[in-house]
């Protein structure tokens, strides 16, 4: 009798879960964004949410939860109910923060819905720099070890990791200088010879002719700057990228994850998001729910190896 009761209890839970999932969503959804308001990553998160609302037929309210390189927001989402009503907007920082031990678990702590956008990392110089190409800068560093200084956000940041791994793999003899949020001002003031940053930080100065991007890390050229070569086209592909997308608490029903993924698939085609990508300098790269978890796992493995190589 007890066994029968347990079976019936499990069956009722499964039925209830199926009913709830089929009715999803029947109330507003909250989306945590781990980036500061007003930036390109925040804008992409907000615009994609607005577009996804049209498919889900429920509002998605956005809350910026900042701190510790995204750890605060990542941790918050992981602690919410796994019913699809608390979702998050992630970047590859969800991997770097766990690899660095800022959170007591790894990427398997969450479920991953889909990838939506991608940011490049670029090595950029002033427009009057003698280095016209990335190979020229690398070659010059080998002739004059320690002379070329590259500014970065800080050790552990995604852009620092990308730049440092790239330079090590190419045998460049550069010096990395942490300049925090002053990356662009430091470059323009001549405090450093180049910077390793995400292009959205530079677009205004690039368009004003003050800064030149030498190359970008994305596997394909970006619509916002089609003349800038990729690392891959120069034979320098690193394999890991600054992806952005949607994640949810562990154990969220697969049917809910699929609905969210389909909604964001439509969002990835939204004109407002495409216009923002072109203006701000990020790219659209949708990865569906049935492929995104494997993609994240592969990126984690690549990043772990890369970050270990520059310790």
Of the candidates 206, 234, 262, which is a domain's last residue?
234
Predicted local distance difference test score (pLDDT) of residue 15: 44
pLDDT digit string, tens, across residues 144-190: 999 999 999 999 899 999 999 999 999 999 999 999 989 999 999 99
Predicted local distance difference test score (pLDDT) of residue 167: 98
Question: Using CA atoms, how far apart are residues 26 and 21, in angstroms rounded to an integer?
Answer: 10
Work out the angle between the directed axes of helices 254-267 and 2-23 (0-180°, nearest 10): 10
Does the pLDDT at position 219 exceed 90? no
Residue 1 falls inside a structural domain:
no
Q: What percent of the chain has pLDDT over 90?
A: 89
SS3 call for 155? coil
Burial class of 254 by CB neighbour count within 10 A (0 to 12, 13 to 18, 19+): exposed
Tokens of 53: 């609302």
pLDDT digit string, tens, across residues 39-66: 999 999 999 999 999 999 999 999 999 9
Q: What percent of the chain has pLDDT over 70?
A: 93
Predicted local distance difference test score (pLDDT) of residue 21: 52
**How many structural domains does the chain have?**
2
Residue 2 falls inside a structural domain:
no
Do residues 91 and 139 both lie within one domain?
no
In angstroms, what CA-CA distances link 4 with 8, 11, 219?
Answer: 6, 10, 56
Question: Using CA atoms, how far apart are residues 33 and 258, in angstroms rounded to an integer?
Answer: 20
Do residues 87 and 20 both lie within one domain?
yes
User: Which DSSP category does 174 fall into?
Assistant: -
pLDDT digit string, tens, across residues 122-135: 999 999 999 999 99
Residue 81 · residue 75 · CB < 8 Å: no
Do residues 110 and 19 both lie within one domain?
yes
Does the pLDDT at position 198 exceed 50? yes
Do residues 15 and 49 both lie within one domain?
yes
- pLDDT band for position 311 (50/70/90)? confident
Do residues 156 and 250 both lie within one domain?
no
Residue 5 falls inside a structural domain:
no
Predicted local distance difference test score (pLDDT) of residue 12: 46
- pLDDT band for position 3 (50/70/90)? low
Residue 4 falls inside a structural domain:
no
Question: Residue 286 belongs to a domain with what CATH number?
Answer: 3.40.190.150
Residue 95 falls inside a structural domain:
yes
Do residues 127 and 63 both lie within one domain?
no
Do residues 149 and 252 both lie within one domain?
no
- pLDDT band for position 2 (50/70/90)? low
b/e map 174-187, b = 16+ CB within 10 Å: bebeebeebbbebb
Question: Residue 166 belongs to a domain with what CATH number?
Answer: 3.40.190.10
Q: Which helix (H) or strand (E) holds 182?
A: none
Tokens of 90: 């992630």
Domain extent at residue 134: 122-234
């Amino acid at each position: 009798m007890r066994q029968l009761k347990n079976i019936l209890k499990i069956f009722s839970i499964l039925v209830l879960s199926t009913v709830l999932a089929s009715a999803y969503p029947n109330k507003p959804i909250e989306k945590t964004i781990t980036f500061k308001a007003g930036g390109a990553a925040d804008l992409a998160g907000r615009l994609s949410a607005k577009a996804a609302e049209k498919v889900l037929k429920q509002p998605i309210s956005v809350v910026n939860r900042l701190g510790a390189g995204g750890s605060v927001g990542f941790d918050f989402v992981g602690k919410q109910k796994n019913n699809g009503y608390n979702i998050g907007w992630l970047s590859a920082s969800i991997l770097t923060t766990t690899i660095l031990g800022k959170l007591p678990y790894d990427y398997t702590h969450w479920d991953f819905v889909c990838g939506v956008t991608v940011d490049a990392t670029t090595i950029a110089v002033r427009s009057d720099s003698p280095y016209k190409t990335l190979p020229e800068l690398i070659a010059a560093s080998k002739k004059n070890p320690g002379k070329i200084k590259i500014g970065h956000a800080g050790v552990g940041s995604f852009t620092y990791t990308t730049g440092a791994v790239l330079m090590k793999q190419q045998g460049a003899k550069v010096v990395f200088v942490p300049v925090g949020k002053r990356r662009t001002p430091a470059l323009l003031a001549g405090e450093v010879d180049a910077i390793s940053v995400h292009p959205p930080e530079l677009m205004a100065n690039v368009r004003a002719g003050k800064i030149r991007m030498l190359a970008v890390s994305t596997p394909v050229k970006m619509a916002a700057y089609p003349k800038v070569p990729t690392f891959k086209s120069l034979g320098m592909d690193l394999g890991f990228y600054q992806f952005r997308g949607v994640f949810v608490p562990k154990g969220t029903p697969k049917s809910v994850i699929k609905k969210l993924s389909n909604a964001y698939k439509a969002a990835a085609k939204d004109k407002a998001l495409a216009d923002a990508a072109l203006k701000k300098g990020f790219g659209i790269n949708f990865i569906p729910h049935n492929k995104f978890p494997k993609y994240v796992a592969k990126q984690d493995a690549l990043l772990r190896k890369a970050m270990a190589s520059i310790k």
